[in-house]
Amino acid sequence: MVKSEVLVLGGGPGGYLAAERAAQGGKKVTLIEKRALGGTCLNEGCIPSKALLNSAKLYEHAKDSAVFGVTAENVKIDHSKVIDRKDKVVKTLVSGVGMTMKANGVQVVMAEGVIKGKSGDGFVVEAGGEEYAGEKLIIACGSVPVVPPLPGLREGIERGYVLTNREILDKKDLPKHLVVIGGGVIGLEMASYYSMIGVPVTIIEMLDKIAGPTEKEVSAVLLKEYKKRGIDFKLSCKVTSVGEDCVNFEENGEAKSVKADAVLCSIGRRAATQGIGLENLGVYTERGAIVTDSHMLTNIPNVYAIGDANGKIMLAHTAYREAEVAVNHILGKKDIMRYSAIPSVIYTNPEVASVGETEESAKAKGMEVKTVKASMKMSGRYLAEVEKGDGFCKLVIDTKKNRLVGCHMIGSYVSEMIYGAALMIEREMPVDDIKELVFPHPTVAEVIREALFMV
């Protein structure tokens, strides 16, 4: 039996940061990972998709540069080289995580771990034929793609016709036509990449809007932009089955079909809690996700669940913060998890970034709010550098408290700006105090200030 003070199951952003922080706090830590350090985010999610998207953006810039007085001829994109570069980036980051673990004295076990129960030494996890015990257990086992029982879907995955986020990021041959099932974050980012490099794309989405909970005006502008770019949207359409070379769906009760030589299934993710032995401890789950309190504790004392495993907000940066909250609880430091100012970004082109309430969600909570909207064109830098698009910044203001409670943006650079709004919301800054902040000029972020002065 290998004994530790903190045992971490899963080496994604939640798990590796928890291990690092716990080790920095003086704890003896063991981290168990079955696949690759960095988890979904580094290996088959956030990072590789950004590498691909940046190549596509460069390609698009080069093609569309004449308006800026730059002529580039014979511009080409080599998809296979894009994938190679992505692999290099992933390799660098994954080995960086390994080095960080080593530098902090974390014992890393590369094997699938299964919780066996509790012994006198603590919680026991079996991995690679060895037993590991920890006084505290942090479950950070992540999530897996949802694969509904649609006829032909699983068979499609088995024969490589249907891809999930994992396979599509490694696919070196370009499809002639890509069909994306699900117009959420993964679907839109991948559709964005493929359409930018010239592959015809169809998105089939069950709802009447894309980008899920994204603010409705932002979602509408994104839809308009992508329609202009040639993506074919089938909204309010329900996929009924996957055929040999097509996806079948229903539109207004009518059976339809679209041909494709590759299909991306991106209809959501679920906590990867099956088969990890939760039942051996009696860890409580709801719809497959581990239930946690504001310290990330489960119903079992000394057992924590962070990241996608608790299904609260499936974003790497949420996992990071949850990791810190769990470790602080272990170290006896005062801290609690707050979810009201967690930003979210969709790395389409234009980018989408949001934090806090929308007008609808605020009103549903009984808040009295007003909204103000500033065009990105109010920013001198934006106008100087960006030619196309109807980007804007929309703020949601709590009129009773005179506070910013939501910020929703679409346009270039917004992914890098949103944390500013998150900070204002998290710190509950009065609008009048925010107005006194000095923003650097010229920057696109000034549009937030412009919008504030419309309140």
Query: In this chain, which of 266, 298, 371, 412 binds ligand NAI, going by CB under 6 A?
Result: 266
Q: Draw the binding track, 213-242, toward ligand NAI (x: CB under 6 A; -: no contact).
A: -------------------------xx---
If one asks whether residue 206 binds ligand NAI (CB under 6 A), the answer comes out as: yes
82 vs 106, beta carbon nearer ligand NAI: 82
Q: How many CB atoms lie within 10 A of CB 373?
A: 12
Q: Are 283 and 277 in contact (CB under 8 A)?
A: no
Q: Which of 174, 207, 220, 423 touches ligand NAI by CB under 6 A?
A: 207
CB-based contacts of 354, cutoff 8 Å, min separation 6? 214, 215, 218, 343, 344, 345, 406, 407, 408, 409, 418
Q: Does 59 bind ligand NAI (CB under 6 A)?
A: no
Active-site position among 61, 177, 408, 441: 441
Compute CA 317 distance to the chain's CA centroid, rounded to the nearest angstrom.
8
186, 247, 281, 337: which one binds ligand NAI (CB under 6 A): 186
Nearest to 326, CA basis, from 296, 302, 354? 296
Provide the minimum distance between the beta carbon of 269 and ligand NAI in the complex, in angstroms, as a whole number. Answer: 4
Under the binding rule (CB under 6 A), the answer on residue 156 touching ligand NAI is: no
For ligand NAI, the binding residue among 27, 79, 269, 312 (CB under 6 A) is 269
- Residue number with CB closer to ligand NAI (30 or 192): 192
User: Side chain identity at 128, as an amino acid letter?
Assistant: G
Contact indicator for 306, 296 with CB cutoff of 8 Å: yes
Question: Please, which residue, 167 or 335, has the CB nearer to ligand NAI?
Answer: 167
Return the residues of window 70-99 that contact ligand NAI according to CB under 6 A: none
The answer to whether 267 contacts ligand NAI (rule: CB under 6 A) is yes
* CA dihedral sign, ordered 44, 12, 54, 78: negative
Considering all CA atoms of the chain, what is the largest pairwise distance in Å, rounded to the nearest integer?
A: 72
Crossing angle for the helix pair 316-330 and 13-24, to the nearest 10 degrees: 30
Selected from 19, 90, 201, 204, the binder of ligand NAI by CB under 6 A is 204
Q: Which two tokens stand for residue 333?
A: 């430091």
| Minimum CB distance to ligand NAI smaller for 6 or for 52 | 52
Question: Please, what is the minimum distance in Å from the beta carbon of residue 248 to ligand NAI?
Answer: 11
Cis, bond preceding 343 (omega within 30 deg of 0): no
Other CB atoms closer than 10 Å to residue 332's CB: what's the count? 7
192 vs 371, beta carbon nearer ligand NAI: 192
In the complex, minimum distance from the CB of residue 148 to ligand NAI, in angstroms, rounded to a whole number: 6
For ligand NAI, the closer of residues 34 and 270 by Cβ is 270
Q: Which of 51, 153, 181, 278 binds ligand NAI (CB under 6 A)?
A: 181
Which of the ranges 134-142, 152-160, 169-177, 198-206 carries the binding residues for ligand NAI, by CB under 6 A? 198-206
Nearest to 449 by CA among 440, 441, 402, 439: 439
Asked whether position 347 contacts ligand NAI by CB under 6 A, the answer is yes
Q: Does 263 bind ligand NAI (CB under 6 A)?
A: no
Assess 183 for contact with ligand NAI (CB under 6 A).
yes
Residue 185 binding ligand NAI, by CB under 6 A: yes
Among 10, 12, 187, 356, the residue binding ligand NAI under the rule CB under 6 A is 187
Task: For residue 163, state whether it binds ligand NAI (rule: CB under 6 A).
Answer: no
Residue nearest to ligand NAI (CB): 184
DSSP β-bridge partners for residue 181: 204, 265
25 lies in the binding site for ligand NAI (CB under 6 A): no
Q: Of these, 113, 184, 343, 391, which contacts ligand NAI (CB under 6 A)?
A: 184
441 a catalytic residue: yes
C-alpha–C-alpha distance, residues 444 and 22, integer Å: 38
| Nearest to ligand NAI of 113, 183 (CB atom) | 183
Specify the residue, 14 or 98, whose C-beta has the smaller distance to ligand NAI: 14
Catalogue the active-site residues: 441
Query: Could you list the residues that contact ligand NAI (CB under 6 A)?
Result: 45, 148, 181-187, 189, 204-207, 212, 238-239, 266-269, 314-315, 344-347
